[in-house]
Structure 1
Amino acid sequence: MPVTPATAADVLRGRDPEVAALVDAEQDRQASTLQLIAAENFTSAAVLAALGSPLANKYAEGYPGARHHGGCDVVDAAERLAIDRATTLFGADHANVQPHSGSTAVLAAYAALLRPGDTVLALGLSHGGHLTHGSPANFSGRWFDFVPYGLDPATGLVDHAQVRSLARTYRPKAIVCGSIAYPRHLDHAFFREVADETGAYLIADAAHPIGLVAGGAAPSPVPYADIVCATTHKVLRGPRGGMILCGADLAGRVDRAVFPFTQAGAQMNAVAAKAVAFGEAATPEFAAYTRQVVANARVLAARLAEEGLTVVTGGTDTHLITADPAPLGTDGRTARARLAAAGIVLDCCALPHTGGPDTAEADVRGLRLGTAAVTTQGMAEKEMVRIAVLLAGVLRGDLDARRARDDVRELAGEFPPGPR
Structure 2
Amino acid sequence: MAIDRAKELFDAEFVNVQPHSGAQANMAVFLACLKPGDTFMGLDLSHGGHLSHGSAVNSSGILYRPVAYKVDKETGTIDYDQMEETAMREKPKLIIAGASAYSRDWDYERMRNIADEVGALLMADIAHPAGLIAKGILNDPLPHCHIVTTTTHKTLRGPRGGMIMMGENFENPWGLTTKKGTVKKMSMILNSAVFPGIQGGPLEHVIASKAVAYGEALTDSFMEYILQVKKNANVMAKAFIDKGYHVISNGTDNHLMLIDLRTKFPDITGRQVENALVLADITVNKNMVPFDSRSPFQASGLRVGTPAITTRGLKEEHIPAIVELIDQGINKLDDEKALQDVKTEVNRLMKDFPLFAY
Distance change (3 Å), C-alpha of 1:283 and 1:212: same
2:335 corresponds to 1:400: no
Task: Tell me how large the CA RMSD over aligned residues is.
Answer: 1.4
Contact kept? 1:82, 1:275, Cα under 8 Å: yes
1:53 matched residue in structure 2: none
Query: What one-letter code is carried by the residue in structure 1 that aligns with 2:136?
Result: G
Q: Deviations over 1:273-331 (max 9, x none)?
A: 11111111011110111111010001001001111211110000000110022344222
Q: How many residues in Structure 1 have an aligned counterpart in Structure 2?
A: 337
| 1:362 positional shift | 6.2
Contact kept? 1:215, 1:288, Cα under 8 Å: no
Q: Deviations over 1:149-189 (max 9, x none)?
A: 11100000001111000110111100011100000001111
| Unmatched segments (≥5 aa) in structure 2 | 171-185
Query: What one-letter code is carried by the residue in structure 1 that aligns with 2:338?
Result: D
| 1:266 positional shift | 0.3
Query: What one-letter code is carried by the residue in structure 2 that aligns with 1:239?
Result: P
1:386 matched residue in structure 2: 321
Contact kept? 1:214, 1:287, Cα under 8 Å: no
Structural mapping, 1:311-330, within 5 Å: 311-329=247-265, 330=268
1:87 matched residue in structure 2: 7
Identity of aligned residues (%): 41
Distance change (3 Å), C-alpha of 1:419 and 1:252: farther
Q: Provide the rounded CA distance (Å) in 1 between the counterparts of 2:292 and 2:351.
A: 39
- Equivalent in 164, 167, 171 of residue 244 of structure 1: 164
Q: Provide the rounded CA distance (Å) in 2 between the counterparts of 1:338 and 1:326.
A: 17
| 1:355 positional shift | 4.7
Equivalent position SS for 2:128: coil
Deviation beyond 4 Å, 4+ runs, structure 1 = none
Query: What one-letter code is carried by the residue in structure 2 that aligns with 1:265?
Result: G
Structural mapping, 1:277-316, within 5 Å: 277-316=213-252
2:73 corresponds to 1:153: yes
Query: What one-letter code is carried by the residue in structure 2 that aligns with 1:124?
Result: D
- Equivalent in 192, 197, 202 of residue 261 of structure 1: 197
Q: Provide the rounded CA distance (Å) in 2 between the counterparts of 1:91 and 1:129.
A: 26
Contact kept? 2:48, 2:99, Cα under 8 Å: yes
Contact kept? 2:271, 2:298, Cα under 8 Å: no
Contact kept? 1:351, 1:363, Cα under 8 Å: no
Structure richer in helix, relative to its length: 1
1:343 matched residue in structure 2: 281
Q: Taking structure 2 as the reference length, what is the TM-score of the superposition? A: 0.92
Contact kept? 2:232, 2:319, Cα under 8 Å: yes
Query: What one-letter code is carried by the residue in structure 2 that aligns with 1:128?
Result: G
Q: Provide the rounded CA distance (Å) in 2 between the counterparts of 1:215 and 1:344.
A: 29
1:273 matched residue in structure 2: 209
2:303 matched residue in structure 1: 368
Distance change (3 Å), C-alpha of 1:355 and 1:397: closer
Q: Provide the rounded CA distance (Å) in 2 between the counterparts of 1:317 and 1:339.
A: 25
2:177 matched residue in structure 1: none
2:155 corresponds to 1:217: no
Query: What one-letter code is carried by the residue in structure 2 that aligns with 1:257?
Result: A
Q: Provide the rounded CA distance (Å) in 2 between the counterparts of 1:317 and 1:153.
A: 19
Equivalent position SS for 2:232: helix
2:29 corresponds to 1:109: yes
Equivalent position SS for 1:202: strand
| Unmatched segments (≥5 aa) in structure 1 | 1-80
Contact kept? 1:151, 1:158, Cα under 8 Å: yes
Q: Provide the rounded CA distance (Å) in 2 between the counterparts of 1:405 and 1:361.
A: 27
Q: Taking structure 1 as the reference length, what is the TM-score of the superposition? A: 0.78
1:177 matched residue in structure 2: 97
| 1:113 positional shift | 0.9
Q: Which has the higher contact order (CA 8 A, sep 6+)?
A: 1
Contact kept? 2:246, 2:259, Cα under 8 Å: yes
1:417 matched residue in structure 2: 355
Contact kept? 2:234, 2:253, Cα under 8 Å: yes
| 1:233 positional shift | 0.5
Equivalent position SS for 1:400: helix
